[in-house]
Amino acid sequence: MVAAADLYLPNECWECIIRFLDTDHRSLESLSLVSKHFLSITNNIRFSLTICDTNLPSLPHLFQRFPSLTSLDFTHFSQHGDLTALLFQVSTSHITHVVVNAMSMVLPKLRKINLSRHYDISDSLLLHLCKNCEFLEEVVLFKYSSLTCDGIASAIRERPSLRSLSVGRQSNECGWWSNGSHDNISSHFTDSLVSLKGLTNLDLPFLRISDMFLSSIAIEVISLRRLVLRDCINYSYSGIFSLLSMCQCIQHLDLQYAYFLNNQHIFELSSFLGNLVSVNLSYCRMLDESALFSLVSKCPSLNEIKMECTSIGEESLKNSNSLVDFVVSPQLKSLYLAFNSLLCDENIKMFASIFPNLQLLDLRRCKMIRHLNLTYCLGEKMQGVNFKLSKLEVLNLSHTRVDDKALRVISKNCFGLLKLLLEFCKGVTDKGVKHVLKNCTQLREISLRGCYEVKANIVDMMVFARPTLRKIIAPPGYHFPDKKGEVFSLHGCHVC
């Protein structure tokens, strides 16, 4: 027998092992039940905590249990008044209440504060928090009403180490703008923002910004990696050109509703976006597939494009040969093309051939698509699909890596399918076929040729489970006894 001492590992080694195992951040609770030793280790490597009404009384115990906390999330705490008073006390230097005293031990370590949806958070409270959290790197303030533009400006100026700032609305609600409409960013806010030299993430949705504001950022904040100007107004191509030409390290860009953008603008801007990973140009209605291909041809790292409700499909209607020279772009994984009413079957077939490694394709409300052929096009296993084409009649997914999970989603979104081809789809099993039979209530033809993971005896069930079927191309190994053929014929279904 090996002595227990010979199996001893220092806590640092166990921490490394547990971090390696906890890839989805859900394993700590299970591991903590193994032993008191593991409980102690998992407590020490817990860095974030979500505060809600139910765990408020136990905060002192929680802070003592998790000594390494660096992040507190208050977005699920609904007692607004109590939260404001609590945080205000925490941010001051003398605290006597046991709960606030426990929190004061943690707050200096905080890296992130998210106070979204707490409408009574005041300027003075935010200022105190920014003053006292010396390691603070990220501030998130969405959906609030009591804060003012100048109050936010004063607070962030107290924390020049900020790397991420998210300020504004996420929908059409009142903030420090009047009557729910966009309001101007103050000069004080601009001055404070450009003082954050290490800023890498800037998220300013639903605000009134100016070209001068964007130019100021371009001069001072050149380390930006993520820029979100979703639904902002009052700026133009000049301002965004000034910013992107200076900040050429941006990886994530959101210009949704930048209505002034056209194809030539995207062609020019893409020259500055060599590091781009994801882009959102939805509701930029002057953009079509020319803009799409400008991006993928000039941005070699781009793997996600959102161009919902644009004019994609219009160029193909004008000239069917205008895009044939574009080369294959294997890096693109996600393509969102919802609400492009001009998209047709040929567009999708072309996109699928140019982007062979698509894992997510969103085609919601693309009304002209009736036949969709993606044979050989999806080179990798589809992790997400969002066709949502209720009028799609024919879908060919042969020789793709579609699996049961993807079939479940597709069959729900394309419930009007008449014909489905799944030939040589190695990821399809009986489970996926059953999803199709359940959801596609009008299905008349299905091909399972080369689907070796589908059991041959499923055919008998298919005939009776979906009476609309008129033709089944059976999976490998199916035998065709004459009597069964006669029975199937009586049901109006031909099996081959």
Q: Lowest-confidence range among 51-65, 299-313, 355-369?
A: 51-65
Instruction: Give mean pLDDT, residues 191-204.
Output: 94
pLDDT above 90 for 404: yes
Tell me if residue 299 falls in helix, strand or coil. coil
What is the C-alpha to C-alpha distance for residues 474 and 472, in angstroms, rounded to an integer?
6
What is the C-alpha to C-alpha distance for residues 81 and 84, in angstroms, rounded to an integer?
5
Tell me if residue 328 falls in helix, strand or coil. coil
So where are the chain's domains? 111-246
pLDDT above 70 for 126: yes
Tell me if residue 477 falls in helix, strand or coil. coil
Instruction: Give mean pLDDT, residues 326-355.
Output: 83
Q: Please tell me the predicted confidence (pLDDT) of residue 473.
A: 94
Q: What does the pLDDT look like over 341-363, one tens digit per residue?
A: 888 777 877 887 788 888 778 88
- Sign of the CA dihedral with 273 first, then 279, 285, and 288 last: positive
The pair phi, psi for residue 304, each rounded to 5°, is -140, 130
- Sign of the CA dihedral with 316 first, then 320, 323, and 324 last: positive
Tell me if residue 460 falls in helix, strand or coil. helix
Q: Lowest-confidence range among 201-215, 449-463, 481-495?
A: 481-495
Q: What's the N-to-C CA distance of the chain in angstroms?
A: 64
Give Rg (Cα) of the chain: 28
pLDDT above 90 for 44: no
Instruction: Give mean pLDDT, residues 199-209.
Output: 93
H or E element, residue 71? strand 71-76
Percent above pLDDT 90 for the chain: 40
Q: Tokens 């001072």: give the residue.
A: 220
Q: Please tell me the predicted confidence (pLDDT) of residue 24.
A: 55
Q: What is the CATH number of domain 111-246?
A: 3.80.10.10
- Sign of the CA dihedral with 8 first, then 14, 18, and 21 last: negative
What is the C-alpha to C-alpha distance for residues 286 and 192, in angstroms, rounded to an integer?
35
Q: Lowest-confidence range among 34-48, 139-153, 214-228, 451-465?
A: 34-48
What are the helix (H) ranges across 342-480? Answer: 345-354, 404-413, 430-439, 458-465
The pair phi, psi for residue 167, each rounded to 5°, is -140, 130
Q: What does the pLDDT look like over 266-285, one tens digit per residue?
A: 999 999 999 999 999 999 99
pLDDT above 50 for 93: no
Q: Please tell me the predicted confidence (pLDDT) of residue 341.
A: 84
Burial 246-260 (b: 16+ CB within 10 A, else e): bbeebbbbbbbbbee
330 close to 358: Cβ distance less than 8 angstroms: no
Q: Lowest-confidence range among 65-69, 119-123, 179-183, 288-292?
A: 179-183
Per-residue pLDDT band at 177 (split at 50, 70, 90): very low
The pair phi, psi for residue 230, each rounded to 5°, is -60, 125
Six token digits for residue 105: 């031990």
454 close to 422: Cβ distance less than 8 angstroms: no
Burial level of 167, CB count in 10 A (0-12/13-18/19+)? buried
pLDDT above 60 for 308: yes
pLDDT above 70 for 366: yes
**Other beta carbons less than 10 A from residue 237's beta carbon:** 16
Calculate ∠ Cα 213-271-328, nearest 5°: 135
User: Could you tell me which of 300, 304, 259, 260 has the C-alpha nearest to residue 278?
Assistant: 304
Q: Please tell me the predicted confidence (pLDDT) of residue 241.
A: 97
